[in-house]
């Protein structure tokens, strides 16, 4: 029993050192200096895709559908035939109106001859002024009737033209509300809808303060023209082409203190896709997307590797070293993320040393043995002996 007391005393003395540094001394970590790097400014918002043109096709005649000229879900070009209506009744009506024009035209020609004869008789004893006046009035009346009949012919021609319903815009066409053989009228509602595909608009609300910051930041570089808009698709992929802001609402949205901005985005066919295939383009009308507002020119900003940044309930933090290689937890405000780097807008200064490797071995207050991390700049601090 007496032999155990010195042994236990020795263990109690050795424990504090082992707890502080571990069996091998201070933990080794990889560090690097905080320096400025060229990064592209990016801010992300939530937006909704909206077609630039959306048209409901409505019949302008009462007639039977005798032909449908499109495939549901396909893309149509402007002017393509969509529906052909029965035109027999309208052709007959046009022929009747044309006959009326011919009839009135013949009467007018005869009236003109009568007026000429009455005028030539005015210089003879047989001539009467009243006959000439009557002939002149009849001629004017028939001339007016001819104009009215010609107008009726024009109306009939327009109505006959409505028997062929063509696409007013290019885009993807939806489902037909009625099949061939159905009678349609102007009150039947939309027969089908066409949604334009390229380009698309993306609407996204931005806080008024952010709009002012963007305007002031990019004013020397051309304002919003110096900003590129990219879209993060619902599957997380980035749309392959960028767009530009082409509109801002003139009023602030009540209750949210935001301004609605609109970007115009190209929406080309996906590689290898055909115009009639479903899902052949990235942007779909009505879809929610992420809107990335990017500066067109990189800026110099403090940046650290993404691997150096941790997150907890209070936000983002990094582990920095003081002059004695003691670990400090620094709360940081993150800025732009680009590649393996993330910008830091607050919490660090240029030249600070941050831990980027071996984070699982450190905690605030622990003394570490630093060495330059893989890929760290040449100016990264060398390891100091533990004091």
pLDDT at 142: 87
Residue 212 in contact with residue 254, Cβ under 8 Å?
A: no
Kindly state the average pLDDT of the residues 233-257: 88
Token digits of residue 100: 């009326």
Peptide bond into 184 cis (omega under 30): no
Q: Which of 81, 56, 86, 84 is nearest to 71 (CA)?
A: 81
Domain co-membership, 102 together with 232: no
Is 249 a domain residue? Answer: yes
- 198, burial (CB in 10 Å: exposed 0-12, middle 13-18, buried 19+): middle
| 36 or 191, greater pLDDT | 191
pLDDT at 127: 58
CATH label of the domain that carries residue 117: 1.10.287
How many domains are there within the chain?
Answer: 4
CATH label of the domain that carries residue 317: 2.40.420.20
Predicted confidence band at 265 (pLDDT cuts at 50, 70, 90)? Answer: very high
Domain co-membership, 248 together with 356: no
Report d(CA 380, CA 355) in Å as an integer.
11
End-to-end CA distance of the chain: 39
Domain co-membership, 191 together with 73: yes
Domain co-membership, 203 together with 294: yes
- pLDDT tens for residues 151-173? 999 999 999 999 999 999 999 99
- 355, burial (CB in 10 Å: exposed 0-12, middle 13-18, buried 19+): buried
Is 367 a domain residue? Answer: yes
Strands 310-312 and 258-265: unpaired
Average pLDDT, the chain: 82
Predicted confidence band at 235 (pLDDT cuts at 50, 70, 90)? Answer: confident
Kindly state the average pLDDT of the residues 134-153: 88
Predicted confidence band at 339 (pLDDT cuts at 50, 70, 90)? Answer: low
Domain co-membership, 106 together with 210: no
Domain co-membership, 78 together with 97: no
DSSP string, 138-196: HHHHHHHHHHHHHHHHHHHHHHHHTTEEE-SS-EEE---SS-TT-EE-GGG-EEEEEE-
Is 114 a domain residue? Answer: yes
Is 136 a domain residue? Answer: yes
Is 368 a domain residue? Answer: yes
Q: Which of 51, 52, 48 is nearest to 231 (CA)?
A: 48
| pTM for the full predicted model | 0.64
Cα atoms in the Cβ-side hemisphere of radius 13 Å centred on 283: 35
Report d(CA 132, CA 111) in Å as an integer.
11
**Rg of the chain over all Cα atoms, to the nearest angstrom:** 41
CATH label of the domain that carries residue 251: 2.40.30.170
Domain co-membership, 232 together with 265: yes
Number of H helices, E strands in the chain: 4, 24
Angle, vertex CA 20, rays to CA 16 and CA 25, nearest 5: 115
pLDDT at 19: 43
Q: Which domain holds residue 153?
A: 88-161
CATH label of the domain that carries residue 79: 2.40.50.100
pLDDT tops 50 at residue 14: no
Domain co-membership, 206 together with 222: yes
pLDDT at 130: 74
Is 14 a domain residue? Answer: no
Domain co-membership, 61 together with 127: no
| 276 or 23, greater pLDDT | 276
Is 71 a domain residue? Answer: yes
Domain co-membership, 211 together with 288: yes
Report d(CA 261, CA 202) in Å as an integer.
8
Kindly state the average pLDDT of the residues 294-312: 78
Domain co-membership, 203 together with 252: yes
Report d(CA 364, CA 40) in Å as an integer.
32
Domain co-membership, 203 together with 264: yes
pLDDT at 377: 41
Residue 197 in contact with residue 50, Cβ under 8 Å?
A: no
Predicted confidence band at 298 (pLDDT cuts at 50, 70, 90)? Answer: low
Report d(CA 238, CA 356) in Å as an integer.
28
């Amino acid at each position: 029993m007496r032999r155990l007391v010195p042994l236990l005393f020795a263990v109690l003395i050795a424990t504090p050192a082992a707890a502080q540094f571990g069996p091998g001394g201070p933990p080794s970590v990889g560090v690097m200096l905080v320096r400025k790097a060229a990064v592209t400014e990016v801010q992300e918002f939530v937006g909704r895709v909206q077609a630039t043109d959306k048209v409901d096709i409505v019949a302008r005649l009462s007639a039977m559908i005798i032909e449908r000229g499109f495939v549901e879900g396909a893309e149509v070009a402007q002017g393509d035939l969509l529906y052909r209506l029965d035109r027999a009744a309208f052709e007959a009506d046009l022929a009747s109106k044309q006959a009326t024009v011919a009839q009135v035209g013949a009467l007018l020609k005869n009236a003109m001859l009568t007026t000429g004869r009455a005028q030539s008789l005015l210089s003879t004893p047989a001539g009467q002024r009243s006959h000439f006046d009557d002939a002149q009035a009849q001629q004017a009346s028939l001339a007016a009737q001819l104009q009215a009949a010609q107008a009726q012919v024009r109306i009939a021609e327009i109505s006959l033209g409505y028997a062929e319903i063509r696409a007013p815009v290019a885009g993807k066409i939806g489902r037909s509300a009625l099949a061939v053989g159905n009678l349609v009228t102007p009150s039947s509602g939309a027969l089908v809808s066409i949604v334009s595909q390229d380009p698309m608009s993306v609407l996204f609300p931005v806080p008024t303060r952010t709009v002012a910051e963007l305007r002031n930041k990019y004013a020397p570089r051309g304002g919003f023209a110096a900003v590129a808009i990219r879209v993060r698709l619902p599957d997380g992929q980035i749309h392959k082409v960028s767009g530009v802001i082409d509109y801002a609402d003139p009023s602030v949205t009540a209750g949210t203190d935001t301004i609605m901005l609109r970007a115009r985005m190209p929406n080309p066919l996906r590689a290898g896709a055909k115009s009639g295939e479903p899902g052949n383009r990235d942007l779909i009308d009505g879809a929610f997307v992420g809107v990335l507002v990017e500066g067109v020119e990189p800026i110099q900003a403090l940046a650290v590797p993404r691997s150096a940044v941790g997150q907890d309930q209070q936000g983002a933090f990094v582990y920095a070293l003081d002059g004695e290689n003691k670990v400090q937890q620094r709360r940081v405000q993150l800025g732009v993320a680009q590649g393996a780097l993330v910008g830091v807008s607050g919490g660090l200064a240029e030249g600070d040393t941050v831990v980027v490797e071996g984070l699982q071995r450190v905690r605030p207050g622990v003394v570490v043995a630093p060495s330059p991390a893989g890929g760290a700049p040449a100016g990264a601090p060398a390891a100091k002996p533990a004091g």
